């Protein structure tokens, strides 16, 4: 956890039985070399005393927005500026709702509003509260703003129930926070990305293809490299420069893309299929240019191409697999069904009928769907979207790996 060395962590503690674990969390963060200051809500003080947190952090604890003494030493704006990161652990359902609403009626929500530092939350609550539509909607909205949730874990709860909602253990939280300061969330991972269209030859001069420019896949490759991953980019024909640092494998047809994908997937941790693969190819490729006779309609016989992402999932069931679903109607329903059919962990629903997003545009907007959640990322540049997607997919793949341990 050496990446916490000299990092300034503002630990927010809200009211919940897991607040007692915040004491150990302070110790873990300080063991990692972090300087820790603690802000507690009034409800948190009912579960654990500020004195305990002061003794462990070695700093005065902040409990009130309008405290003349605290404002004289380090006021809330300075505290918000001081932090390299804010971690709220435990984050209660009430706090999550108030953070989502942008409230600023107590110290902790005000600090979150005033900071430019990244905010991480460790949800902790009863499993039914976690599953409630309100909490899930609040979490999804916070994630779409770039706030990352660590956990929650699943298991037996203080209330006697069993299910998701347990705060992750302090050591896990400290490690995850440390990871955010390391070279990137994908350091040490290999990510394979397919991008662009495929071309299916008809004859020596003609082909079937589609409007994919490769912008989305290339932006994902750049974002994954920035997050520290080794990236293999398998690209159909595109007019884009190779992303610096990526291993670029240029292919033309779906069959070539399949062969390159299966080979690259063998050493991959994450596979993202952003390519627009032609579903069909001509049954026969004419050796010579097809001549027009000007009278009769030309009939082409097409055969189905192999499903690349489904083949990769079948060959490498342990890698974290992500497909896109380019749809023009019933976008979410079709995407959900496609996720099941292709057996991928996650599918990114892309409405390619909407103006200004999708094929060949500079912007995009998507909904990320996995087994238990759906998160809409509103319209933004493909680069910005790719960064948000990579953070999200890194977190999801890490959660799945952790669950498998
Ligand atoms: O390239 P851009 O101009 O930036 O546009 C981005 C994009 C719209 C191409 C991209 O965001 C996108 O939606 N990519 C998927 C396009 C597509 O072909 O979707 P699909 O719904 O037909 O396919 C579903 C998934 O299966 C995709 O992940 C696709 O890569 C994969 N697939 C499809 C067919 C096939 N034979 N093998 C596959 O692996």
CB distance 358 to ligand 1 below 6 Å: yes
Three-state DSSP class for residue 374? strand
Residues 206 and 141 grouped into a single domain: no
How far is the C-alpha of 374 from the C-alpha of 372, rounded, in Å? 7
Ligand 1 atom closest to Cα of 196? 1
- Please work out whether the CB of residue 271 comes within 6 Å of at least one atom of ligand 1: no
Closest atom of ligand 1 to 214 CA is 1
Pair (124, 243) in one structural domain: no
Q: How many CB atoms lie within 10 A of CB 315?
A: 12
Which parts of the chain register pLDDT below 70? 1-2, 68-74, 182-183, 405
> Which of 324, 333, 363 should be mutated for ligand 1, with most atoms under 8 A from CB?
324
Check whether residue 196 and residue 170 sit in a common domain.
no
Tell me what pLDDT residue 1 has. Answer: 52
* Ligand 1 site, residue 359, Cβ cutoff 6 A: yes
Length of the chain measured in residues: 405
- Give domain status of residue 184, yes or no: no
* Domain ranges, residue 319: 190-404
CB 158 within 8 A of CB 17: yes
| CA 299–ligand 1 middle distance (angstroms) | 26
Q: What is the pLDDT of residue 76?
A: 81
159 is catalytic: yes
Quickly list DSSP for 127-154: HHHHHSHHHHHHHHHHHHTT-EE---EE
Question: Could you tell me if 388 and 245 lie in one domain?
Answer: yes
Check residue 288 and give its pLDDT.
96
Query: H/E element holding 226?
Result: helix 215-226
Assign residue 82 the CATH number of its domain.
3.40.50.1950
Q: Does 121 sit in the ligand 1 pocket, CB within 6 Å? A: no
Whether residues 39 and 174 fall in one domain: yes
In a shared domain, residues 102 and 246 = no
Give yes or no: residues 74 and 204 share one domain: no
């Amino acid at each position: 956890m050496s990446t916490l060395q000299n990092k300034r962590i503002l630990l927010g503690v809200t009211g919940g039985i897991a607040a007692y674990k915040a004491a150990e969390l302070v110790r873990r963060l300080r063991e990692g070399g972090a300087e820790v200051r603690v802000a507690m809500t009034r409800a948190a003080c009912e579960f654990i005393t500020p004195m305990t947190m002061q003794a462990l952090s070695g700093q005065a604890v902040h409990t009130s927005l309008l405290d003349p003494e605290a404002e004289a030493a380090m006021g809330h704006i300075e505290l918000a500026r001081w932090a390299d990161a804010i971690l709220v652990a435990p984050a209660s359902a009430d706090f999550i709702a108030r953070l989502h609403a942008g409230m600023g009626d107590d110290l902790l929500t005000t600090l979150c509003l005033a900071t430019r530092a990244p905010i991480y939350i460790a949800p902790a609550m009863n499993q039914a509260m976690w599953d409630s539509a309100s909490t899930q909607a609040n979490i999804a909205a916070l994630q779409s703003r770039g706030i990352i949730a660590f956990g929650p874990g699943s298991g037996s709860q203080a209330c006697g129930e069993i299910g998701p909602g347990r705060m992750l253990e302090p050591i896990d939280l400290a490690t995850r926070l440390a990871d955010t300061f390391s070279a990137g969330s994908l350091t040490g991972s290999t990510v394979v990305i397919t991008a662009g269209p495929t071309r299916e030859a008809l004859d020596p001069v003609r082909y079937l293809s589609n409007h994919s420019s490769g912008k989305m896949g290339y932006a994902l490759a750049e974002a994954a490299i920035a997050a520290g991953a080794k990236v293999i980019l398998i690209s159909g024909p595109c007019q884009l420069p190779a992303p610096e640092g990526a291993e670029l494998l240029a292919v033309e047809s779906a069959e070539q893309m399949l062969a390159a994908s299966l080979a690259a997937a063998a050493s991959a941790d994450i596979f993202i299929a952003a390519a627009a693969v032609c579903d069909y190819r001509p049954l026969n490729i004419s050796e010579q240019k097809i001549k027009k006779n000007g009278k009769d309609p030309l009939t082409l016989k097409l055969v189905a191409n192999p499903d690349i992402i489904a083949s990769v999932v079948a060959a490498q069931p342990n890698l974290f697999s992500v497909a896109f679903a380019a749809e023009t109607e019933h976008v979410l329903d079709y995407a959900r069904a496609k996720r099941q059919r292709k057996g991928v962990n996650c599918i990114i629903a892309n409405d390619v009928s909407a103006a200004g997003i999708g094929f060949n545009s500079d912007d995009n907007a998507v909904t990320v769907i996995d087994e238990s959640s759906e998160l809409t990322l509103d319209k933004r540049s493909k680069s910005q979207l790719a960064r948000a997607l990579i953070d999200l997919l890194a977190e999801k793949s890490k959660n799945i790996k952790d669950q498998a341990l």
